[in-house]
Chains A and B, each alone.
Chain A
């Protein structure tokens, strides 16, 4: 592969990213699909960073720069956010000869080794044609490092650094500790789902959770101008942009929702406002989901968090949708949700103080334990089908991508 890159561009990469695949290696016959989706996701995500080859061999994905401009630092940042990757590392690539491996190991890991006191070398030889065995390679590299860095000692049980040398088909790779990847399974292998996204803390986290399980996302956002502002919608776009760094590019549906809310306010008892509104959201989202070939809905509901998220209220909301509804946050505390939102960097956007369609008409005393029969009774005052139809027809589509 290295030879091929050299032939086509004349550029010889000195450093690559090695990616170890996660769960997907366990998935039997589906493995090929999963691998090809992951490679496609990686190629698309890395294309914005520079010119890279992304190839798979021996359960390892290689990310190889094709020219000088391809920034491996940026590529590593992207790789860290791609689902389906358990660990990854940057590695020095050299010819498969001890004459090259020994000096390169000393040079490549110099900064790290100067900060360590102890180390050990782990060598792996998957190219059995290489003349030295793995223990022999370890010994030689260890000796060279001890000579170059006299402050180091070998500790095979708890070393500060494990220096890894891999002799693979295409070359020899030298690297330190691999970094944890984003885990999960590649986005798109699990099908598509529509996620109801508000602008709060929870829904972006819910979206992220399900993308992690391989779902491609179709965000549906309900906007209520003039009761909500352009900035509120921009906030949702900013949130989704963050999520898309993990979940890949997506197409958001912005549904104009003020009319529905006005109708509910004017025709139904105030205490049922939120439940009725959420039932409309489910219906509209489901209608869009079907058009977009989605198999499920995703919401950020967490049991008992607010009046509309009690067991009874969720039952009433759930009854409006036929599709399965995934609620990945249902058993989480707010603090756990916040923790994830900080990790995926959506928290600081979520807490911007713009009203969204959920907060703008909050009733003073909402029903916490609504009966479905009473909700249906209240809803019967409305022309549900016409309102839903209007919402779906007037939805605006926006492309969201990480860059």
Chain B
């Protein structure tokens, strides 16, 4: 396998776990570490150059979200962004209410924060998905009350690719006059679908660098101008004191470069949709396979159940053929998927659920190689009793 990896002939279909850093990002990181390694807080010119690089990256992210650069805060990634947004919003607004709304299919970096807040005296409504994994606009509308201080929804579910009704949430908050902030975990959506927080009524939005061919360990939190978050970390004045600590300039520069290298989203989505549809057609010929992602899900993610073969066995089999996918979500490393469980997928199908996730680096041939190998695996591997 080592050979396949170096020869570049492997097929990487686990892009929702992480993506291969693009050349632009790699070069930006390298440049920042070799040349532009000053401390952005330093007054001399080396510091000034580093600060320029940080602000340049901030502008890149702001441009991608059609917002102002001062609304972008650099954080270490999706988990920190979500924690900062939810805890910061809950504690800033607890005098106006203690009710929060989220969904049962959020990432653990949201769900576990919500569970913590429940212990701290907040009440949380978890919206349950239907059998396709969808949350309806009506559900969101009904959950929001005049006591709701935060609605937190992911834009795209990381396991199924299902899109959540973001518009319904901002509409409900607006029309019910709830004192609520609206947080969107856009880790899986950013760089794939257009996001304009300002016009979509989103107050807080989390994104992550390594899901868009940038470095790991860097992400950003959009905080709408005028929105106050209770601080969670204390230290120096970096990032306006909201996220103190010397800026990770190489990673920030890498994120900025990765954002600038994003393709035109609509055209790329169309291309990915063709790959997705092609794979769906191929899989339709395999009677053991059940598709768990609905057809209107974001085409970058396709969740499927591979008959009687356990997901882990199939994953290792595919891995031995140089094809990399994931079982459920990679963060859980083998744990049962809470998303599929909430959808009411039978335990046996969950045990054999694989997630295929595409990026702009994939082609239709990759989908074919996956389908071929999956078919071979289904024939060769001994079924678990």
Contact = CB atoms under 8 A, between A and B. Distances in A.
Which of the four size classes fits the interface of chain A? Answer: 10 to 19
If over half of A's interface residues share one DSSP class (helix, strand or loop), that class is named, otherwise mixed; here it is loop
Contacts of A353: 334
Interface stretch (B100-108, B176-184, B316-324): B316-324
A364 interface: yes
Contact of B382 (A229, A265, A355, A363): A265
Interface stretch (A26-34, A220-228, A245-253): A220-228
Contacts of A59: none
A142 B279 CA distance: 86
A226 B382 contact: no
Contact of B313 (A227, A230, A363, A364): A227
A261 B383 CA distance: 12
Contact of B385 (A230, A355, A363): A363
A226 B317 contact: yes
Interface in A264-293: 265-266, 270
Contacts of B272: none
A225 B316 contact: yes
A226 B334 contact: no
Interface residues of B, number: 15
Contacts of B315: 226
A355 B316 contact: no
B227 interface: no
B319 A226 contact: yes
A225 B312 contact: no
B385 A226 contact: no
A21 to B, nearest CB: 46
A227 B385 contact: no
A353 B333 CA distance: 10
A228 B385 contact: no
Contacts of A270: 385
Contacts of B318: 226
B11 interface: no
A272 to B, nearest CB: 14
B347 interface: no
A227 B319 CA distance: 12
Interface string B46-90: 000000000000000000000000000000000000000000000
A229 B312 contact: yes
A225 B334 contact: no
B381 interface: yes
A262 B313 CA distance: 13
Contacts of B319: 226, 230
B28 interface: no
Interface in A131-175: none
Contact of B316 (A228, A266, A361, A364): A228
Contacts of B317: 226
Contacts of B135: none
Interface in A44-84: none
B385 A229 contact: no
Query: Considering residues A226, A230, A265, which has the most beta carbons from chain B within 10 angstroms of its beta carbon?
Result: A226
A182 to B, nearest CB: 35
B382 A266 contact: yes
Nearest to A353: B334
B314 interface: yes
Nearest to B1: A230
Interface in B291-316: 312-316
Nearest to A229: B316
A225 B382 contact: no
Q: Pick the most buried of B318, B334, B381, B382: most chain A CB atoms within 10 A of its CB.
A: B382
Contacts of B313: 226-227, 360
A262 B315 CA distance: 18
Interface string B184-198: 000000000000000
Nearest to A264: B382
A55 B318 CA distance: 55
B385 A225 contact: no
A296 B385 CA distance: 35
Interface in B370-385: 377, 381-382, 384-385
Contacts of B381: 226-227
B385 A262 contact: no
Nearest to B318: A226
B312 A355 contact: yes
B102 to A, nearest CB: 28
Contacts of A225: 316, 320
Contacts of B320: 225-226
A266 B313 CA distance: 17
Interface in B90-145: none
B370 to A, nearest CB: 15
A261 B314 CA distance: 16
B99 to A, nearest CB: 37
A227 B316 contact: yes
A265 B384 CA distance: 10
Interface in B303-359: 312-320, 334
Given A226-B319, A270-B385, 12 more contacts: A225-B320, A226-B315, A226-B316, A227-B313, A227-B382, A228-B316, A229-B312, A261-B382, A353-B334, A361-B384, A361-B385, A363-B385
13 contacts: A226-B313, A226-B316, A226-B317, A226-B319, A226-B377, A227-B382, A229-B316, A265-B382, A270-B385, A353-B334, A360-B313, A361-B384, A364-B385
Interface of B: 312-320, 334, 377, 381-382, 384-385
Interface of A: 225-230, 261-262, 265-266, 270, 353, 355, 360-361, 363-364
8 pairs of A and B residues whose beta carbons are closest in the complex: A226-B316, A226-B317, A227-B313, A262-B382, A265-B382, A229-B316, A226-B313, A225-B316
